[in-house]
Structure 1
Amino acid sequence: MNHLPLHSYQKSPIASMECALTCSASAKSALLTYVFLVHVKHFSDNLKSIERRPRVCIVGGAFGGLYTALRLESLVWPDDKKPQVVLIDQSERFVFKPLLYELLCGEVEAWEIAPQFSDLLSNTDVRFFKDRVKCLYPCDHLGTNAPTAGTVQLESGLLIEYDWLVLAIVAEAKLDIVPGAADYALPFYTLEDAHRVDKKLRKLEPATISERLQEKGIVQAINVEKIILSNAPAGNRDAALKVLSSRKVQLVLGYFVLRITKGVESQTSDAESKTMDPAADHSESIILELQPAERGLQGQIIRADIVLWTIGSKPLLPELEPSDKPYNIPLNARGQAETDETLRVKGHPRIFAVGDSSTLRDKNGKLLPATAQVAFQQADFAGWNLWAAINDRPLLPFRYQNLGEMMTLGRYDAAVSPSFTDGLTLEGFVGHTARKMAYLIRLPTDQHRVKVGISWLLKSTADSVAPIQTMLAKAQSGS
């Protein structure tokens, strides 16, 4: 058999082609076999390259999880080191929670603050799974040369092996601390919660308008502390008190809720019975029994049509413990993963934790608050430290930068206290504009920011023109 010299094919493809046209059938067969082997080897090398790529599994698609995935996507990677990123969340939408109240007021639309993950990740290599995590099986703490660092089991039955894991599971409303709260109170924590509250408010609107005409409409806010917003800047607290007072909101301070029952289930006291309207139907109302936090105060009973529950949250990590063996991820008393300053879970070099799933203290030893601002900054560091760990570079310690506090006080009203100026609080429409601009910058992906920015600009223009149109219409009708 005549074999085509290997060096002639590598040196000159044109010369090899001419030789193939003149050589024998056996030589042509040898050439085709060689070309086939070259292509097979090239495909095999590509397959091995894909298999060598690290696998990063991110559990939870809130601020910490989604922004970590986007951060990983934005970094520059060596060809064989760019990870395969999987994002898992039980919802199909990312929710920008700081703007949930604006959704309730009709100031923003659902698509603006709750875009679908599929839209946000359409121009990335991140794979999204709409599923709920059932169990975590990490093995990076065992010190063995296992092919993976662990496995995530989903409720659908799917098993996802990973080389690196990011715990970013969002906490849920804590309704089990007061009897009756889970049955009769409405949490305000998710997009679905906001829709339920909106539906309930719409149902009450006719009665509410009637009560307002008779000056009977009342909003009451209950807090166990003697002041509101104890952790907020003084300027924000003063602005909130001023707005609450102008809207005749009653503050019930120094009390905690002991029990919540339905109107027909409660035993109404004689004192309360005397103050109740005998003509009103109280069978659907909700009764809150209040206990004073300090001595010297008497208990109270409050009757309400709707109860919004904003007391605390609980992490979900303890619920992911395998039933067949003890949990080996270190958790604090609140159920959050203990991390070092690089956001790695202690004892687990291949697991990072951010947002509601992590516990970290500032330079003064105080626990960082479970806020979007903290999760956003943690995601930036987690993404970078994953890049550093995969590329054998030193990891950076997380340093939280307090940028200030922002709060909404109603439609087109807010209070903003930036950290770079002491004592300055932007209130009213100026504060509202500053807050929305800050959140517009924080929205995920450039494409979504542009769409939302255009939408808000058009709404603002329409709202500005509406009073002028009304004034002109009145002028024309009066002329």
Structure 2
Amino acid sequence: MSCRAAPWGRPSAPRGRPFPASARLRGPFGGTNSWKNPVLKNSWRIGDVPAMFGLPSGLFRCMASSSSGDGGFSRPQSIDEAPIPLYPWPDKQRPRVCILGGGFGGLYTALRLESLVWPGNNKPQVMLVDQSERFVFKPMLYELLSGEVDVWEIAPYFTELLKNTSVQFVKDSVKLLRPSDHLRREPGVSCTGGVVHLESGTVVEYDWLVLALGAEAKIDVVPGSAEYALPFTTLEHALKVESELKMLERRKFGKKSPPIQVAIVGLGYSGVELAATISERLKNTGTVKAINFQTTICPNAPPGNREAALKVLESQNIQLFLGYSVNCIREVYASEDSGSMVADAKEAGGGDKKLVLELQAAQRGLQSQVLEADLVLWTVGSQSQILRLQPPDAPYVIPLNGRGQVETEETLQVKGHPRTFAIGDSAALRDPSGKFLPANAQVAFQQADFAGWNLWAAINDRPLLPFRFQNLGEMMTLGRNDAAITANFIEGLTLEGPIGHAGVKI
């Protein structure tokens, strides 16, 4: 997810130790909940229900009653499979809400549910599932490379953020979704919302589901990109890039050798911020080459932000290759004898490894290019995780658009699934003009607020609210002392340079 959240109109956060001052503007205040993952002591063998599903009999009857083409399954012939652990919700009476994904949308939905006033015994049990033990404040990942922040400042543990709340955090990955809220119900049979299978083998039965898994980097785009290019979307990616830069800096230190060469593919928000940050870090010891398919940078950014970013890139002498696409990336070695590039390390005689990018002109009037680099960063392309999580016997049970995003109603409910909500990069939602909402943190923040409220309304049989996005503006970090902020409520105003940077840090 691109995380261009504007600094205004943040949802409220629980009390607790706040983020550092540099992070407060754009993220959750560290509030709240240390939850110790309960040990799954009890295993389930559920009669003659398939152990691979681990479903209680009521849900099994509901799902088995539907047609096989609608996501149901038939009764098995054998029950000799190993028992599957079913997640032990503490209270068998209260509603169970499972939130998949601990990004901006998922975390804030959990906190929103915690903050609401619930009548009677209706306050739900909330589980937050994420494959990482840390919440990552992605707009500040670049500042790891500039040395402005440490890991703990931008990636606090979920258990720390959720301390003093009732939200239960589970560190695990999602393996399979099997919703049942779209199925035909038999009279007198109470059906739940469905089940989630986790990679650990645990099966989570839920009443309400929130899909906030976001998108993952799509790196295998051209030959060599998966092998030789690094993405920059997670904390692990950022730490890997930092490690590679340090290694290159040590290797070049004190030597009369060519400058470090870093190639960045894509000049959207992420590519521009990476280019500015790395160029500022390398200074005279390296060069940055940035490639973009369009003939401009940040095509979806406000004009003021785009112009400010272009000024910074040009002032830092970043080499821009606009109107080009990468055809392939390959590895070569510099021969110590001749200085030429060879594909075989043995022929190079111990020479330095280089990466070669073959660029193809995407616009008329441009010539093909061949670039050399020590490090290639890939910031274009993403893919939804939902498609690979659908049941193999019902691959389209969750409706997706052509981009792999979940089709939702205005209430953020998945179409045909009244007990399932989708937000953030997982969801396909349009604004009143018919355009898809951007995949950024500002949208996820606002959707989390509505998702939390609509879950409250659905559980308490109240009317649900249609989601309406309010664009508050955008910001970009362009190095240690530069940034750009465009406030949507003041037309034509862009804060840039040191003033913009000060605004980001407030």
TM-score in same-fold range (> 0.5): yes
Name the stretch that deviates more: 423-432 or 373-382. 423-432
Give the unaligned 5+ runs of structure 1.
1-48, 266-270, 274-278, 438-479
Q: How far has the Cα of 1:290 moved from its partner?
A: 0.7
**Aligned mates of 1:161, 1:106 — CA distance in 2:** 43
Q: How far has the Cα of 1:272 moved from its partner?
A: 9.4
Task: Tell me which of 196, 203, 207 is aligned to 2:247.
Answer: 203
Q: How far has the Cα of 1:146 moved from its partner?
A: 3.8
Give the alignment of 1:84-123 within 5 angstroms.
84-123=125-164
**Aligned mates of 2:385, 2:142 — CA distance in 1:** 24
- What is the CA deviation profile of residues 120-156 of structure 1, one whole-angstrom value per residue up to 9, with x for unaligned ones? 1111101111001110110100131443110001111
Task: Tell me which of 422, 432, 439 is aligned to 1:370.
Answer: 439
Task: Tell me which of 323, 327, 334 is aligned to 2:396.
Answer: 327
Native 8 Å contact 1:261 1:288 kept in 2: yes
Matched, 1:420 2:489: yes
What residue number does 1:7 align with? none
Quickly say closer, same or farther: Cα 1:215–1:429, change in 2 above 3 A. closer
SS in 1 for 2:353: coil
Matched, 1:143 2:184: yes
Question: Which structure's residues are more often helix, by fraction?
Answer: 1
SS in 2 for 1:172: strand
Give me the TM-score of the superposition, normalised by structure 1: 0.76
Give the unaligned 5+ runs of structure 2.
1-89, 260-281, 335-339, 343-347
Native 8 Å contact 1:263 1:282 kept in 2: no
What residue number does 1:379 align with? 448
SS in 2 for 1:289: strand
Give the alignment of 1:59-74 within 5 angstroms.
59-74=100-115
**Aligned mates of 1:406, 1:214 — CA distance in 2:** 24
Give the alignment of 1:6-405 within 5 angstroms.
50-144=91-185, 145-206=189-250, 211=258, 217-264=286-333, 283-405=352-474
What residue number does 2:476 align with? 407
Give me the TM-score of the superposition, normalised by structure 2: 0.72
Alignment-mate amino acid for residue 343 of structure 1:
L
What residue number does 2:33 align with? none
What residue number does 2:502 align with? 433
Name which one, 1 or 2, has greater alpha-carbon Rg: 1
Alignment-mate amino acid for residue 287 of structure 1:
V
What residue number does 2:278 align with? none
Native 8 Å contact 1:50 1:80 kept in 2: no
CA RMSD in angstroms, aligned pairs only: 2.3
Q: How far has the Cα of 1:246 moved from its partner?
A: 1.4
Quickly say closer, same or farther: Cα 1:230–1:280, change in 2 above 3 A. farther
Alignment-mate amino acid for residue 314 of structure 2:
S
SS in 2 for 1:135: strand
**Aligned mates of 1:331, 1:374 — CA distance in 2:** 19
- What is the CA deviation profile of residues 386-438 of structure 1, one whole-angstrom value per residue up to 9, with x for unaligned ones? 0011111111111111111100110121111111112211112221121233x
Native 8 Å contact 1:239 1:427 kept in 2: yes
Quickly say closer, same or farther: Cα 1:280–1:264, change in 2 above 3 A. closer
**Aligned mates of 1:282, 1:252 — CA distance in 2:** 28
Native 8 Å contact 2:333 2:341 kept in 1: no
Q: How far has the Cα of 1:373 moved from its partner?
A: 0.9
SS in 2 for 1:204: helix
Native 8 Å contact 1:262 1:283 kept in 2: no
Q: State, as a whole percentage, how many aligned pairs show the same letter.
A: 63
Q: How far has the Cα of 1:324 moved from its partner?
A: 3.4
SS in 2 for 1:263: strand
Q: How far has the Cα of 1:263 moved from its partner?
A: 1.4
**Aligned mates of 2:361, 2:326 — CA distance in 1:** 9
- What is the CA deviation profile of residues 190-239 of structure 1, one whole-angstrom value per residue up to 9, with x for unaligned ones? 00000000000011114556656996732111000001111111211111
Question: What is the total number of aligned residue pairs between the two structures?
Answer: 380
**Aligned mates of 1:247, 1:413 — CA distance in 2:** 12
SS in 1 for 2:414: coil
Native 8 Å contact 2:332 2:341 kept in 1: no
Name the stretch that deviates more: 314-323 or 145-154. 145-154
Native 8 Å contact 1:208 1:217 kept in 2: no
Native 8 Å contact 2:94 2:122 kept in 1: yes
Alignment-mate amino acid for residue 335 of structure 1:
G
**Aligned mates of 1:204, 1:139 — CA distance in 2:** 52
Q: How far has the Cα of 1:264 moved from its partner?
A: 4.6
Alignment-mate amino acid for residue 205 of structure 1:
E
**Aligned mates of 1:233, 1:281 — CA distance in 2:** 48
Quickly say closer, same or farther: Cα 1:100–1:122, change in 2 above 3 A. same
Q: How far has the Cα of 1:280 moved from its partner?
A: 12
**Aligned mates of 2:488, 2:252 — CA distance in 1:** 39
Q: How far has the Cα of 1:326 moved from its partner?
A: 3.1
Q: How far has the Cα of 1:244 moved from its partner?
A: 1.1
**Aligned mates of 2:316, 2:142 — CA distance in 1:** 17
Quickly say closer, same or farther: Cα 1:303–1:369, change in 2 above 3 A. same
**Aligned mates of 1:181, 1:224 — CA distance in 2:** 16
Quickly say closer, same or farther: Cα 1:280–1:363, change in 2 above 3 A. farther
- What is the CA deviation profile of residues 315-341 of structure 1, one whole-angstrom value per residue up to 9, with x for unaligned ones? 100110222333300001111100011
- What is the CA deviation profile of residues 340-379 of structure 1, one whole-angstrom value per residue up to 9, with x for unaligned ones? 1110000000000001110100111000111111111111
